[in-house]
Amino acid sequence: MRMSNIKNRLEKNSKQDNSWVERAKYRKENKTWLDISFTIAVRIMSALKANKTADVFPKTQKELAEAMVCSPQYVNKLLKGTENLQLETVTKIEQILNISLIEIPEFQSTLQVEQFRKPAASDELVKKDVVFKIKKTKEKV
Amino acid sequence: MKIINTFVIVKDSLYSVQYETEMLNEFAKCFELWNDPIYLRAFFEQHKEDLEHKFWNDITIEDAIIKTREDAQLFEEELLYIAETGKTERLETLSTLFEPLSKGYIYGKFEKDKAKGIKRHSWLRMYAIRIEANLFVVCGGAIKLTQTMNNRDHLILELYKLEFTRNHLQDEGNKHLEFVEIN
């Protein structure tokens, strides 16, 4: 009886939450780039902390803003890990803090892969397949 | 401390309070904080000694921040699914997500071991009052790095919020609402 009183009161007096559902959907739908933005924010903060320990510029958010020639508010936004960063901004931060934030795997053509690859005996079929692909590529050229 | 609103998170099953001093209800606030690298960095810097306990296997602050967000993501996606699909069979899982707050938290004894299956250790906690078998009111949340709640200020505050919310919800003939947590 008493329990249903509480239940009734809750049902009658509560508002529907929209803030969390909307934010949760946004986080789910944008997960891939938000993950990267979050990790970048974490790395930047670690670099600032290391600079602070070593007494190297920039060691605070404010100093990073100075080095980036932007507002401290922008740096704060960036460190929230929710900013869809431009490559120009990322590379600028990499240079200022002397850290690597994103890396592109080095490009290797099919031909280069074959030249540097030492196939195992059991790899014969794969090897033939690769050679075939190279020949086809040469033909095209 | 004053509760200014209660919010429906999952219809007929999960509610959350909002305190006067906060912009968000406690449930939504937890996920904002657990996704905020600035907050997480400050938290783990402040609780560095607890993080260095052998139980956490020499985890770095950087990895602790990443782990917190990953755990929060899994947790949030599960709850979002329940919130969006409404009352389905899976909704019943909500009652299995919460478990009673062990006496150890309050009296300082060791926390009882809990069966967590293959799930790795998570330090995220969401605290709630159980009204019925499958009806909960969230009143707070925390990152819990220690065995007990009663020797860290941020966890003592959570105990106070549990007590405060229970008093707010219950009326005269109702003194046995249970404290529960999600982990």
Q: pLDDT per residue over B76-92, tens digit each?
A: 988 888 777 765 565 56
Q: Flag whether residue A75 sits within 8 Å of chain B, measured between CB atoms.
A: no
Which residue among A3, A20, A76 places its CB closest to the CB of B27? A20
Element (H, E) at B154: helix B153-169
Asked if the Cβ–Cβ distance from B8 to A16 is below 8 Å, we say yes
Pairing outcome for strands A15-16 and B3-10: parallel
Q: pLDDT per residue over B25-57, tens digit each?
A: 999 999 999 999 999 999 999 999 999 998 898
Q: Minimal Cα distance from A41: which residue of B?
A: B37
Tell me the backbone φ, ψ of residue B21, rounded to 5 degrees: -85, -5
Of A81, A86, A95, A74, the C-alpha closest to A40 is: A81
In this prediction, the answer to ipTM > 0.90 reads: no
Q: pLDDT per residue over A97-130, tens digit each?
A: 999 999 888 877 666 666 666 555 555 444 444 4
Tell me the backbone φ, ψ of residue A70, rounded to 5 degrees: -145, 180
Amino acid letter, residue A20: W
pTM of structure: 0.81
- Secondary structure (DSSP) of B3-66: EEEEEEEETTTEEEEEETT-SS-HHHHHHHHHT-HHHHHHHHHHTHHHHTSGGGTT--HHHHHH
**Class (C level, CATH) for A2-97:** mainly alpha
Q: Flag whether residue A16 sits within 8 Å of chain B, measured between CB atoms.
A: yes
Q: Flag whether residue A25 sits within 8 Å of chain B, measured between CB atoms.
A: yes
CA distance A100 to B169: 52
Q: Flag whether residue B73 sits within 8 Å of chain A, measured between CB atoms.
A: yes
Which residue among B7, B62, B173 places its CB closest to the CB of A17? B7
Q: Flag whether residue A52 sits within 8 Å of chain B, measured between CB atoms.
A: no
Q: How many CB atoms lie within 10 A of CB A63?
A: 18
